[in-house]
Structures are given as structure tokens and as C-alpha cells.
A = this chain, B = another copy of it.
Amino acid sequence: MDQLYATRASRMKASEIRELLKLLGEPGIISFAGGIPDPNLFPAEAFAEAFQNALGPDQQAQALQYSVSEGYAPLRHWLVGYMRGIGVECDIDNILITSGSQQALDYLGKLFLSPGDTALVGWPTYLGALNAFDAYEPRFDQLSVNGNRGAAEYREAADGSPIKFAYLSADFANPTGETVDLRGREALLDLAEELDCAVIEDGAYQALRYDGDPIPPIMALEQARKGSIENCRTIYCGSFSKTLSPGLRVGWVVGAKPVISQMVLLKQAADLHSSTINQMAVYQVARDCFENHVPMLRRTYAARRDAMLEALAQHMPDGVEWTRPEGGMFIWVTLPKGVNGADLLARALETVKLAFVPGQAFFPDDTGANTIRLSFSNSDEDTIREGIRRLGEVLRA
């Protein structure tokens, strides 16, 4: 029976990230691998109160019952205000609640991609996006955000395959930590107009800026051009995973109403709706705590980023380069040519008990062998300094 189902799933690489998550519990290991929030920073008490309220006499019948595919209306209302705060005017019919922003990526792949269609993605880009889109068998082409490829060049590379969307995370992207500047965002919108394709803006890290001036989301820039969200080709994916809790699986997607209503149908067919009680709990915690909680996260993660940058400057041998992110969870390290990130990981685990993610997995074309991703979100400063010291040691060995 194997030949029956060895179609879509078999093309996906077993994710190195997931395998690495299994290492996190081992004693003595310093892990810069998982791009995960520090569990000590979760607003656990606020969630305990929110779940208690949801399961109190007034709300329990609702909290434990089926609910509509669009999502919990008070949470969508809160998100209308949140999106306004980052420059996007929308109403609740422009918002669908998803089970993490990962699910929005899956549904967008399902909505847009037929086998052989072209998706433009960063080189490297978020591995989870590649996995989500891969299920729909597209071709990937390299999205350039510095404007050095014109529409004609993309079309030529697509060779007749329809170019369906450009996907990117514009702020502190996973895995590089890099941010697309205002000019790059405007150029991307110009490109999308010329190609008549959608833009999928992954805002997973958007709230975690530590310094520098905020840059409006691509969706806000497009709305400024076009007046209404209904005229926008940008679709924005947001997540509470990096700000409140990933374990509840609550994210959202914002788009023109025809896109959102199609996605509601996809969600209804795929899992009916996201957990009712989790949406109610996230709503209460977002309403009561987001404003104070997120600045605390920013201060904490900023200090960890600074510790990692300082330690890199101190311990990296010549020929190693790295990014200086203004937010998010990641620093991207480029090793000297010929040094293989996967080999380095194997050596680091064995000799100095250090974990990180080899960068190659983030490239659709399996280049990038001499890169690694370091996450600074889940270690305190002392651990970060010691981990980077170990990285220096194994690189010099």
C-alpha cells in the first residue's frame, strides 16, 4: 500500500529543527538551537486566571463547545485594535484565527499553489514555510529584497509557471535576524504589482523589536498606497507564540475579505476551528497583559542578544561573520568557506555540548552549508557567554 501515500509527505525533509528539539532536555547541553521563547517568561499566572474564568459557570458551556471557524469574536476585535496599532486598518471580517501562524502558511499554500506554480522565498527563509508550501509541490525561486532582480528576470526564471506569491518575514526574520528596510518593502510591493502576485508577510517576530525605529508592515505600506485593505494583495500572518505562548497554538491571518472567506472555508474543512477555550484565554491575557508583558520580553531578550553579540566579538576567529538583529530571536553566523555547519554541530555536540541549527536546511536549494543559526531567546546571559566561548573553542580546534 506504500505507493498509495508516498506522494506529498515524502518530499518533505524530516525537520532538523524538530529532531533537535529532542536534545534540549539532555544535561549539560547549551542549546542555541530551538527558536523558542523562554518558558520562564510565560505569563503563566495570567493564563491560569484566564482558564479559570473560561471554565467558570458563565463561560464553561461556550469554552468547551464547538465554535465558528472564523474564530472567537472578542479576540478578533482585539486584533483589529492591535493591527491598527501597527498601521493596518481592518475589521473583524478581515481576520481569521488560526492554530499558530504555521497553519496560516499551510492554508495559504493550499489556497494559492498548484503543483509546479512558483513561490518566491528568501534564500535562506523560515524552514516551516518551506515545509508548509512543499506539501503543494511548488517550484521555489529566490526572492531578492535589495531590488537587484526585476520582474522580467523572475518571469524568465519561472519559465511559464505562474508566480503565485512572495513570502517573507520583514522583521528580524527566522533564520537570519535581518530586517527589510522601508525601501526594500516598497520595492517588493512594486514587484508584486508587476508580477500580479500576492505578498505573504510573516509577522511572527514583529512585536519583538529591541532598538531602531519600527518600520511599517508591508501591508500598512500597501494600504497607504491603495486606501483600503480590500485593495491589498498583502496577506499578514501574526502569532501569539513569541509573545504570550506557543503551546496554545493561536495565531491569526489578515487579508482582503475574499481571501479570508476562502480561508475560513479551508479551515472549516481542515479542522473546523481553533480551540475555543484557548482563544478565550488568549483574548483575556492579551487584553489584560500584552501591553506590559511584551516590553518585559523586549528588555530581557535585548540583553541576551547584546550578550551574544559581545561574546561573538570576543570569541569568534577571523573569517567568521554574523548579523546584528534589531529584534527577534536569532543571530545568523557565516563560517569561513569550506567549514560545514552540520559537521560543526556534530563536533560541538560531542566535544563541548553545544547545540545550534546548521543553516543549510533553510535554503530551498541546499546551499548555505557554511552557515549556522544561533537563538539567544532561551538562555540567560551567562549561559550565552559560555556557549559562545564553546563555539569559539570548537571552531578553533
Stretch of A35-43, A182-190, A214-222, A318-326 at the chain-chain interface: A35-43
**CA of A262 to CA of B11 in the docked complex: distance in angstroms?**
10
Decide yes or no: A22 and B273 within 8 Å by CB, A5-B111, A7-B114 being known contacts.
Answer: no
Are A42 and B64 interface neighbours, CB within 8 A? Answer: yes
Considering only residues 181-210 of chain A, those with a C-beta below 8 Å from chain B are 196-198
- Nearest to A44 among chain B residues (CB) is B60
Are B52 and A262 interface neighbours, CB within 8 A? Answer: no
**CA of A8 to CA of B14 in the docked complex: distance in angstroms?**
27
| Closest Cβ–Cβ distance, residue A139 to chain B (whole Å) | 16
Considering only residues 36-86 of chain A, those with a C-beta below 8 Å from chain B are 36-37, 39-40, 42, 44, 47-48, 51-52, 55-56, 60-69
Which residues of B are found within 8 Å of A162, using beta-carbon distances? 4
Are B110 and A8 interface neighbours, CB within 8 A? Answer: yes
Decide yes or no: A128 and B272 within 8 Å by CB, A68-B18, A247-B66 being known contacts.
Answer: yes
A132 proximal to B (CB < 8 A): yes
Which residues of B are found within 8 Å of A259, using beta-carbon distances? 5
Are B265 and A12 interface neighbours, CB within 8 A? Answer: yes
**CA of A111 to CA of B7 in the docked complex: distance in angstroms?**
7
Decide yes or no: A64 and B245 within 8 Å by CB, A198-B1, A270-B102 being known contacts.
Answer: yes
| Closest Cβ–Cβ distance, residue A164 to chain B (whole Å) | 6
Decide yes or no: A55 and B64 within 8 Å by CB, A265-B14, A269-B135, A272-B128 being known contacts.
Answer: no
**CA of A8 to CA of B266 in the docked complex: distance in angstroms?**
8
**CA of A6 to CA of B266 in the docked complex: distance in angstroms?**
12
Stretch of A141-149, A275-283, A368-376 at the chain-chain interface: A275-283
Are A273 and B248 interface neighbours, CB within 8 A? Answer: no
Decide yes or no: A4 and B112 within 8 Å by CB, A18-B268, A55-B51, A106-B269 being known contacts.
Answer: yes
Are A269 and B64 interface neighbours, CB within 8 A? Answer: no
A99 proximal to B (CB < 8 A): yes
Which residues of B are found within 8 Å of A138, using beta-carbon distances? none
| Closest Cβ–Cβ distance, residue A6 to chain B (whole Å) | 8
Decide yes or no: A5 and B128 within 8 Å by CB, A48-B55, A274-B249 being known contacts.
Answer: no
A233 proximal to B (CB < 8 A): yes
A211 proximal to B (CB < 8 A): no
Are A64 and B248 interface neighbours, CB within 8 A? Answer: yes
Which residues of B are found within 8 Å of A268, using beta-carbon distances? 15, 18, 131
- Nearest to A134 among chain B residues (CB) is B269
- Nearest to A55 among chain B residues (CB) is B48
Considering only residues 286-302 of chain A, those with a C-beta below 8 Å from chain B are none
**CA of A108 to CA of B263 in the docked complex: distance in angstroms?**
19
A153 proximal to B (CB < 8 A): no
| Closest Cβ–Cβ distance, residue A318 to chain B (whole Å) | 36
**CA of A304 to CA of B300 in the docked complex: distance in angstroms?**
57
Decide yes or no: A21 and B64 within 8 Å by CB, A106-B269, A275-B247, A277-B247 being known contacts.
Answer: no
| Closest Cβ–Cβ distance, residue A251 to chain B (whole Å) | 9
Are A247 and B265 interface neighbours, CB within 8 A? Answer: no
| Closest Cβ–Cβ distance, residue A88 to chain B (whole Å) | 18
A271 proximal to B (CB < 8 A): yes
**CA of A241 to CA of B44 in the docked complex: distance in angstroms?**
26
Interface residues of A (CB under 8 A from B): 1-2, 4-10, 12, 14-15, 18, 21-22, 34, 36-37, 39-40, 42, 44, 47-48, 51-52, 55-56, 60-69, 98-100, 102-103, 106, 110-112, 114, 128, 131-132, 134-135, 162, 164, 196-198, 233, 241, 245-249, 258-259, 262-263, 265-266, 268-278
Can you list 19 A-B contacts (CB < 8 A)?
A4-B197, A5-B198, A36-B66, A37-B65, A39-B62, A47-B60, A48-B55, A48-B60, A51-B52, A66-B246, A66-B247, A99-B271, A128-B272, A132-B269, A248-B276, A248-B277, A249-B272, A270-B270, A277-B278
